[in-house]
């Protein structure tokens, strides 16, 4: 090795903050090491690369980063390849009848690299496509005027939390004896969709305005979950604990999908 080991380690340290995030997996890290040292991918100096790879893993551990299992598997693979290249060949003058122990790894690296390139090309297409505008549709948030609310699509747990609040508030209301509401989920979905087609969107709490009983509220909540599953509505929340709003989705034709 031309460089002293310590130096390599430090050079890794220098650029770690960015780099650690880039390496999604061991193949990405290996490709980086190969490029960084400008070595021939078809003739990888396995000892050098293995050493660098292990240094990197050490660094990750030192920084208390969780080293994913696949990084360790690759470390084992590298060490195995290295040990095989160190073994004397039966007859060094003859063409090696065995496969180069590095070959399988090289193939994986090349393939991985190829898909990275493919992703790059796809991304270019995506950008180009993004520069074509159709009529205002789901892709645009809002016409210039007022700023759009920063919203995130809501997960099930936030929905359940919101629902618990609704139930809690209902419990505190004075109880009026009412005949039990008997309404099926299907009917409730139809009602809610009809309401949403008038307003396009409404607050989560508003969904429960016209039901009085706990049973009616549960049916309403189940109807909402079902509508999400059926992709009839989308549910967004402002910020992490902000108000939840329900939006009707534009009806989609499935015909073109066949």
Partner 1 sequence: MSELKAIIEALIFASPEPVTLKALQKLLDTEPPEDVKAAVEALKQDYDRPGGLQVVEVAGGFEIVTRPELHEWVRRLFHERTTQKLSVAALETLAVVAYRQPVTGPEITEIRGVNTAGVLSTLVERRMIKVVGRKQVVGRPFLYGTTREFLERFGLNDLSDLPKVEDASELLGFDLPDTISTPTPQTALPFDGSDGGESVH
Contacting residues toward partner 1, per CB under 8 A:
24-28, 35, 41-42, 68, 70, 74, 107-108, 110-126, 128-135, 137-144, 147-148, 250, 252-253, 255-257
Closer by beta carbon to partner 1, 141 or else 222: 141
DSSP 8-state assignment for residue 253: -
In Å, what is the CA distance from 257 to each residue of 27, 129, 130, 163, 237? 36, 20, 22, 35, 30
Closer by beta carbon to partner 1, 111 or else 210: 111
Q: What are the φ and ψ backbone dihedral angles of 175, each rounded to 5 degrees?
A: -80, 125
Q: Nearest approach, Cβ of 15 to partner 1 (angstroms)?
A: 18
Q: What are the φ and ψ backbone dihedral angles of 19, each rounded to 5 degrees?
A: -60, -40
Question: Could you give the CA distance from residue 210 to residue 44 in angstroms, rounded to a whole number?
Answer: 71
Q: Nearest approach, Cβ of 188 to partner 1 (angstroms)?
A: 25
Closer by beta carbon to partner 1, 7 or else 144: 144
Closer by beta carbon to partner 1, 74 or else 211: 74
Q: What are the φ and ψ backbone dihedral angles of 234, each rounded to 5 degrees?
A: -125, 145
Q: Nearest approach, Cβ of 251 to partner 1 (angstroms)?
A: 9
Closer by beta carbon to partner 1, 13 or else 108: 108
In Å, what is the CA distance from 100 to each residue of 20, 78, 91, 96? 30, 13, 14, 8
Q: Nearest approach, Cβ of 3 to partner 1 (angstroms)?
A: 21
Rg of the chain over all Cα atoms, to the nearest angstrom: 30
Tell me the β-bridge partners of 151: 238
Q: Nearest approach, Cβ of 26 to partner 1 (angstroms)?
A: 5
């Amino acid at each position: 090795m031309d460089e002293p080991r310590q130096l390599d380690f430090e050079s890794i340290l220098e650029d770690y903050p960015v780099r650690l995030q880039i390496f999604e997996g061991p193949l990405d890290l290996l490709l980086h090491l190969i490029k960084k040292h400008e070595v021939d991918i078809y003739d990888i100096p396995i000892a050098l690369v293995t050493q660098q790879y292990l240094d990197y893993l050490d660094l990750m551990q030192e920084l208390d980063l969780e080293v994913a299992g696949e990084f360790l598997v690759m470390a084992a693979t590298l060490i195995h390849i290295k040990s095989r290249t160190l073994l004397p060949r039966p007859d060094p003058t003859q063409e090696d009848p065995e496969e180069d122990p590095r070959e399988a790894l090289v193939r994986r690296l090349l393939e991985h690299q190829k898909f990275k390139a493919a992703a790059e090309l796809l991304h270019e297409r995506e950008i180009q496509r993004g520069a074509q505008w159709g009529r205002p549709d789901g892709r645009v948030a809002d016409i210039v005027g007022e700023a759009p609310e920063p919203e995130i699509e809501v997960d099930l747990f936030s929905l359940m939390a919101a629902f618990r609040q609704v139930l809690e508030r209902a419990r505190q209301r004075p109880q009026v004896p009412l005949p039990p509401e008997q309404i099926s989920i299907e009917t409730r979905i139809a009602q809610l969709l009809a309401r949403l087609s008038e307003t396009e969107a409404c607050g989560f709490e508003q969904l429960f305005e016209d039901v009085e009983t706990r049973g009616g509220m549960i049916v309403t909540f189940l109807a909402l979950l079902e509508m999400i599953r059926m992709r009839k509505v989308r549910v967004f929340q402002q910020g992490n604990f902000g108000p939840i709003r329900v939006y009707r989705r534009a009806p989609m034709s499935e015909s073109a999908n066949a």
